[in-house]
Chain A
Amino acid sequence: MSMFNIFDISGSALTAQAQRMNVSASNLANADSVAGPDGEPYRARQVMFETVDRNNTGIGGVRVSGVIEDNAPMRQEYRPGDPLADEAGYVTMPNVEPVHEMINMISASKSYQANVEVLNTSKQLMLKTLTLGES
């Protein structure tokens, strides 16, 4: 087992959490996008995490296994004068929940911090180990 595995483990977590943060940022930014490139309103996206189990040891990092679209119902907003409104006067808005996204963002940043700490501590220990035997 390599000595630098721990960097892989924490590094993969940093990548995964950063991606989660990216997705949250995209959701928040598009909270009011009534029309995307395909003409449809924006749908919220969520990342899915999975463990990378290296040679079945149970030790491994984490990776994003996929980005899925949120199936929550789209928000309907009553705006009779809007050109995008249907016959009843409702505009279909994205199903982004800003509160969920904020919580997601805070959680991702806390996890990111924890993994940076792990990385720092491990780095210090590795550097100390490399000076073993020096007077």
Chain B
Amino acid sequence: MIDKIAGSLDFYQQALGLRHQRQQVLATNIANADTPNYKARDFHFAEELARAAGPDGNGNRGLALSTTSARHIEGGLQSSGAQNLLYRVPDQPSLDGNTVDMDRERVAFADNSVRYQAALSMAKSRIQGLKSAMQSE
């Protein structure tokens, strides 16, 4: 019963976790804007979310352990770590080998924060919905 409630919130948890992780990656890029030879990183949010949410899109991970006996403990990836950190392609390479484009990073950061808030308010309304469904009157 409780796991059904948890399951209905799982998707938002994944989305928020990934948004937060992307926030970290972008913050790293901005922090290292003056570090020689630093290469800007990012990941593809939609792909990572699809991977994290699993084939049924409901939090059942695509990388679950296969169980051959009813007494096997079900395993799954617990950390929502993005595995595919990619490198940004610079359009104006600089002499010191740094590929951070401040404008792009700031735009991406603002975009990501707004989307984080959007995911947050959707999770909020989901919780509200569950709450009002459980109300006695």
Interface positions of A (Cβ within 8 A of B): 1, 3, 5-6, 9-10, 12-13, 17, 20, 48-51, 57-62, 107-108, 111, 114-115, 117-118, 121-122, 125, 128-129, 132-133, 135
Contact = CB atoms under 8 A, between A and B. Distances in A.
A90 B124 CA distance: 74
Contacts of B36: 48-49
Contact of B34 (A107, A125, A128): A107
Nearest to A49: B35
Interface of A is mostly: helix
Given A49-B35, A62-B35, A6 B24 contact: yes
B123 A57 contact: no
A118 B123 contact: no
Contact of B28 (A60, A107, A121, A129): A60
Contact of B79 (A1, A5, A48, A135): A1
B27 A118 contact: yes
Interface stretch (B44-52, B54-62, B64-72, B112-120): B112-120
B23 A13 contact: no
Contact of A128 (B23, B27, B33, B117): B117
Contacts of B35: 49-51, 62
B104 interface: no
Given A3-B20, A10-B30, A49-B32, 17 more contacts: A1-B24, A9-B28, A13-B32, A49-B36, A51-B32, A51-B38, A58-B41, A59-B41, A61-B28, A61-B32, A111-B33, A115-B30, A118-B30, A118-B109, A121-B109, A125-B117, A132-B124
